[in-house]
């Protein structure tokens, strides 16, 4: 009977997509709660306000990077789910694990913004990029193995999704490893990899066409 | 006329599912707001940062357990709703009661994280597992009684849902009762029961097949 | 051209429903953020923890009442939208006004919880019940006038929705007026009216059948 | 292969709409978290409570203006998406940029509420109206260029959307420029422009018909 129940549970991919959209929406919006406005007691002129805002540089960098991270994982999960034709209990729990790592991102972001020169904070942030990537890899591997993928999905997509995750995660790991030189270099490298996935392919295509 | 109005109200199962997904998404993401980052004033080295993060152990345990709780109840509600073919005003209010208990979980979690050695905090947390379970039991019993269940639902599912809730809640109650020995033992038992519902059945199936 | 643009804007009732579900979900979950856990510095025994939680009585009453308020308005808006067949720009803005008043409810709730014996706080809370009710009345009146209601909606529903809002709001106003005796009496009266709409009709039906 | 992957990614306009609704819902509801209730320690009578609430004038103005801003951009994005028949990877990222600027609005609002007489705060708020407008302009221009617009969209709509954004943004820019006279004049002008888009066209139509 437990096995029977497991088969009927978690079939609804629509509700999984709706829960995911909700969690990404809240996580994206919560990030901004950590952008504190300057204290009115310490600001007595337009110049002081500008200086106080400028001093928030690290927070803004961490905030922008985290929005990029969330956007990339949201788009990645959506691509996967659009090729999966049937839900399954185990797939639901793999995606709940994925969403768990997503809800941790506002914490990692705050940690990085507050301790931006500490390798430990950068390492924690990198783990928070690695974990959702690993869950998405597992999700696709599981869906392939359990025959949940839509039959009209071309073979080149089936292979490219896991391949693409491996390449992206290798680049993120290389970027994170640069923190042994300097955490700012590492952050710059990670943001460049992210921008590559979000923007640059568009530029490449333009050059080619 | 009130009865007539009651019949037309609350039919939309889709909007009930959307409200539920939204509440679960916010509750899952709000949990992390209680994971406070260490104060920068007290951290002067990588080692101190690691120690400060390590000292947050109870918060992380409470956080992880609550995400599991939310995931289990989300999956459970989804399974029920996927077998209910028609909404009804009373069913809507039973589910609003269910969602009310879900919105309380971030509070119980914070209480438990702050007072993790107090039996009272553990008891409050257990009540917050019992209440949504009881509402889901009531929801299925009501839907069965009012003939709202889809006609193609096999008889073995009709019975297994209430049965399964009773077994799970008995295990949670037994786990919670262990707090009279020690609250940590109790928490470990509850988490084991949760992991059994989230992960272990998969292992069982693998062994069998 | 502005008129033309206005005709094409705001047609999507589905997205209006999704935005509404999101706002209700966030508002329902945010309420609990105002339930502060007792300070660990002031609690040294199980008994002190129980006493500290008990002292939060007013917050819990305000929280429960606000969840009821949100549930009632969510169900009411859903009923209306399920009978409206076509969106319109003006209808969208009436519902955005409705949602604006809904987003204010966490503020009114906090105000009432903090100043529960002040007539002003109770009056502000009552205004926050009156405003969404008035917007829903306007919404239905507008939809009737602009022929947006589904053609298969029976005539008795067309009339009963506005009628029902007027009766409910009269009862809330009478309850709020009791604050000139005592705010606690007033709160009890409002909660009784709310429970009547959420639960009691079910009891009535049982007695009749 | 990257180009191939880019083609299959981000097709789902439904999930983009769901993410947008979620972000708007959270942003609209988060605004109210900045409306702090008066401190109970400083309020000893109904009159003092009224005075304390009255002193929050700037916060309320900023809050109301931001809700209008969010409502206008939500309706504008919805109108665009309802005329776009097919998603595309680049369109998804343009809209993620749009949503990024939307998540910043609670920050700009807080900044303006706290520093309402500073031109810098008003300028930052205006940038937060300009940015989503620019992204929506880009979105429509891109969709037109890439042939993503539904074939049954009348030609007059195709042109009117970009035209309308340009006029609205010109009016906002003119309103913002008034801050060199006085920030209050500037805020009044921006709110009038917003009300024109939300309410006034209805009045115009009534006069004409």
Percent of chain C with pLDDT over 70: 90
Tell me the torsion sign for CA atoms B118, B121, B126, B129.
negative
Q: Between B70 and A208, whose confidence is greater?
A: B70
C-alpha span between B175 and B193 (Å, rounded): 8
- Check if D22 contacts B (Cβ < 8 Å): yes
Q: How many CB pairs under 8 A join A and B?
A: 104
- Collapsing DSSP to helix, strand or coil, C39 comes out as coil
Question: Which residues are CB-contacts of B37 (< 8 A; sequence separation ≥ 6)?
Answer: A107, A110, A111, A114, A115
Q: Whose CA is closest to B139, among B23, B29, B26, B20?
A: B20
Residue B155 has pLDDT above 50, yes or no: yes
Looking at the partner chain, which of D26, D32, D37 has a beta carbon nearest the beta carbon of C114? D37
C-alpha span between B69 and C99 (Å, rounded): 30
**What is the pLDDT confidence band of residue B6, given thresholds at 50, 70 and 90?**
low
- The residues with which D84 forms a beta bridge, in sequence order, are D149
- Collapsing DSSP to helix, strand or coil, D84 comes out as strand
Residue D174 has pLDDT above 70, yes or no: yes
Measured between beta carbons, the chain A residues lying within 8 angstroms of D77 are none
Percent of chain B with pLDDT over 70: 90
C-alpha span between C43 and C52 (Å, rounded): 8
Residue D207 has pLDDT above 80, yes or no: no
The arithmetic mean of pLDDT across residues B108-131, rounded, is 91
pLDDT tens digits along C126-136: 999 999 999 99
Residue A154 has pLDDT above 90, yes or no: no
- Collapsing DSSP to helix, strand or coil, D154 comes out as coil
Query: In this structure, what are the phi and psi dihedrals at residue A149, rounded to the nearest 5 degrees?
Result: -80, 140
CB contact under 8 A, D26 and C26: yes
CB contact under 8 A, A25 and D30: no
- Check if C29 contacts D (Cβ < 8 Å): no
Nearest-Cα residue of chain A relative to residue C30: A26
Which H or E run contains A111? helix A105-114
**What is the pLDDT confidence band of residue C79, given thresholds at 50, 70 and 90?**
confident
**What is the pLDDT confidence band of residue C200, given thresholds at 50, 70 and 90?**
low
Measured between beta carbons, the chain A residues lying within 8 angstroms of C25 are 22
Q: Between D153 and A23, whose confidence is greater?
A: A23
Instruction: Work out the minimum CA distance from B21 to partner chain C, whole angstroms.
Output: 8
Residue D14 has pLDDT above 90, yes or no: no
pLDDT tens digits along A117-148: 899 999 999 999 999 999 999 999 999 998 88
Burial class of residue C119 (count of CB atoms within 10 Å of its CB; 0-12, 13-18, 19+): middle
The number of domains in chain C is 1
C-alpha span between D127 and D172 (Å, rounded): 10
pLDDT at A169: 93
Give residue for tokens 């708007």. Answer: D24
Task: Please name the residue ranges forming H helices in A84-154.
Answer: 89-103, 105-114, 119-145
Q: Whose CA is closest to B65, among B206, B200, B187, B204?
A: B187
CB contact under 8 A, D25 and B22: yes
Exposed e or buried b per residue across C67-87, where buried means at least 16 C-beta atoms within 10 angstroms of its C-beta:
bbbbbbbbbbbbbbbbbbeeb
Residue C2 has pLDDT above 70, yes or no: no
C-alpha span between A80 and A84 (Å, rounded): 7
Percent of chain D with pLDDT over 90: 45
pLDDT at D28: 93
C-alpha angle C130-C133-C138 in degrees, rounded to nearest 5: 120
Chains in touch with B (3+ beta-carbon pairs under 8 Å) read: A, C, D
Instruction: Work out the minimum CA distance from B10 to partner chain D, whole angstroms.
Output: 22
Domain that holds residue B111: 2-208
Structure tokens at A181: 């030189």
Q: Give, rounded to a whole angstrom, the gap between the first and last alpha carbons of chain A.
A: 58
The CA-atom distances, in angstroms, between B106 and each of A31, B67, D55 are: 19, 10, 33
Task: Please name the residue ranges forming H helices in chain C.
Answer: 2-8, 13-30, 46-54, 57-83, 89-103, 105-114, 119-145, 155-177, 183-198, 200-208
Structure tokens at B23: 């509440």
Q: Whose CA is closest to C129, among C118, C141, C137, C140?
A: C137
DSSP string, A55-66: TTHHHHHHHHHH
Nearest-Cα residue of chain A relative to residue B157: A5
pLDDT tens digits along D44-59: 888 899 988 888 888 8
C-alpha span between D55 and B46 (Å, rounded): 45
Exposed e or buried b per residue across B79-98, where buried means at least 16 C-beta atoms within 10 angstroms of its C-beta:
bbbbbbeebbbbbbbbbbbb
pLDDT at D10: 47
Residue D203 has pLDDT above 70, yes or no: no
Q: Whose CA is closest to D125, among D197, D179, D196?
A: D179
The arithmetic mean of pLDDT across residues C178-204, rounded, is 83
Which H or E run contains A51? helix A46-54
Residue C97 has pLDDT above 90, yes or no: yes
Residue C204 has pLDDT above 90, yes or no: no
C-alpha span between B9 and A205 (Å, rounded): 53
pLDDT at C89: 83
Q: Poorest-confidence range of A10-14, B3-7, D47-51, D150-154? A: B3-7
pLDDT tens digits along D97-130: 999 999 999 999 989 988 888 999 999 999 999 9
Q: Whose CA is closest to A107, among A24, A20, A31, A28?
A: A31
pLDDT tens digits along C107-126: 999 899 888 889 999 999 99
Q: Whose CA is closest to D8, among A23, A3, B157, A156?
A: A156
The arithmetic mean of pLDDT across residues A99-117, rounded, is 91
CB contact under 8 A, D104 and A198: no
Q: Whose CA is closest to D30, among D97, D121, D109?
A: D109
pLDDT at A153: 84
pLDDT tens digits along C15-52: 899 999 999 999 999 888 878 888 888 888 888 989 88
Contact C69, C194 (CB under 8 A): yes
Residue B130 has pLDDT above 60, yes or no: yes
- Check if C18 contacts A (Cβ < 8 Å): no
pLDDT at B1: 42
**What is the pLDDT confidence band of residue A86, given thresholds at 50, 70 and 90?**
confident
Structure tokens at D166: 């340009």
């Amino acid at each position: 009977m437990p096995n029977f129940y497991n088969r009927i549970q978690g079939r609804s991919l629509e509700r999984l997509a709706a829960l995911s959209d909700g969690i990404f929406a809240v996580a994206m919006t919560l990030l901004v709660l950590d952008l504190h406005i300057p204290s009115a007691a310490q600001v007595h002129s337009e110049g002081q306000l500008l200086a106080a805002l400028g001093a928030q540089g690290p927070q803004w960098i961490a905030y922008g990077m985290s929005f990029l991270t969330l956007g990339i994982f949201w788009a990645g999960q959506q691509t996967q789910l659009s090729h999966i034709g049937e839900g399954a209990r185990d797939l639901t729990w793999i995606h709940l694990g994925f969403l768990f790592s997503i809800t941790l991102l506002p914490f990692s972001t705050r940690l990085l913004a507050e301790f931006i020169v500490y390798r430990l904070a950068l390492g924690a942030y990198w783990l928070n990029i690695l974990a959702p990537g690993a869950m998405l890899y597992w999700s696709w591997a599981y869906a392939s193995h359990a025959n949940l993928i839509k039959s009209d999905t071309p073979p080149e997509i089936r292979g490219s999704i896991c391949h693409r995750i491996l390449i992206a995660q290798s680049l993120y790991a290389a970027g994170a490893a640069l923190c042994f030189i300097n955490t700012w270099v590492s952050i710059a490298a990670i943001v460049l990899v992210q921008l590559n996935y979000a923007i640059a392919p568009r530029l490449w295509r333009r050059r080619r066409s």
